[in-house]
Amino acid sequence: MSSKAVVVFESMFGNTEKVSREVGDGLAGDGWQVVLADVQHVRAEDLTGCDLLVLGAPTHAFTLSRPSTRADAVRQGAPESRAEVGVREWLATIDVLFPAVAARPRVAVFDTRADRAQHWPGSAARKTARVLRSHGFTVIDRPVSFYVRDVRGPLVDGERERAREWSRHLLDLMRTEAARTA
């Protein structure tokens, strides 16, 4: 039986989606069944049998996006259709999606942020990890940031490769945990 990962992302300009695809491809390359889902379209059945949930979101104003920051992204050229639901709102439903604490998947989180803001406080990934831990999820790795050149992107050179490397790191963490609990 193969393991299943679900990679859920919010992406206003497509950069977080690109990182998500690289992470998903890296997991799939190791034989994992991977579901890649935009946060607006992820279905409860996508999450069935999930062993690893990877959540990715853009950092807006040092945290997860809000309706107002997504509206600002639309004013900057993001498609209006991407502004309807973000990871923040999706996390508000997490206990409904995973009602049995014992059956919750392990989680890893990442964000995208403008490279000029590398050392600014706050991040969507750190906020996501805090919310998930408060709901009883085990976050298996520190929150990770991937960088874009500007608010709209593109990704900084080497970030796609770094996303693939991170997926291999996640696989190692999952294997270590499986061996420890066996």
- The string of pLDDT tens digits covering residues 59-116 is 999 999 999 999 999 999 999 999 999 999 999 999 999 988 778 999 999 999 987 6
Predicted local distance difference test score (pLDDT) of residue 1: 52
* Per-residue pLDDT at 17: 98
Tell me how far CA of residue 81 lies from CA of 17, 35, 44, 73, 156, in angstroms. 15, 21, 21, 11, 25
Report the CATH superfamily, name and number, of domain 4-181. Flavodoxin domain (3.40.50.360)
Checking if the pLDDT of 8 tops 70, the result is yes
Model confidence over 12-32: pLDDT tens digits?
999 999 999 999 999 999 999
113-137 tens-digit pLDDT? 987 656 677 899 999 999 999 999 9
DSSP H or E segment with residue 74: helix 67-75
> Alpha-carbon dihedral of residues 48, 46, 60, 129, nearest 10 degrees?
10
- Over residues 124-174, the pLDDT tens digits come to 999 999 999 999 999 999 999 999 998 889 999 999 999 999 999 999 999
Q: Locate the DSSP E strands across 10-74.
A: 33-38, 52-58
Inter-CA distances, 113 with 52, 92, 146, Å:
23, 23, 6
CA torsion 16-152-65-71 (nearest 10°) is -130
Instruction: Give 181's pLDDT tier (boundaries 50, 70, 90).
Output: confident
The residue among 6, 15, 31 whose CA lies nearest residue 109 is 6
pLDDT of 103: 83
- Select from 56, 50, 39, 67 the least CA-distant residue to 5: 50
Query: In the prediction, which pLDDT does 117 show?
Result: 54
pLDDT at 86: 97
Q: How far apart are the first and last CA of the chain?
A: 16
CA 4 from centroid of its chain's CA atoms? 15
Joined together, the tokens standing for residue 159 give: 């970030």
pTM of the model: 0.95
Residues in the chain: 182
Query: pLDDT: is 119 or 181 the higher one?
Result: 181
CA distances from 163 to 9, 37, 79, 172 (A): 14, 17, 24, 14
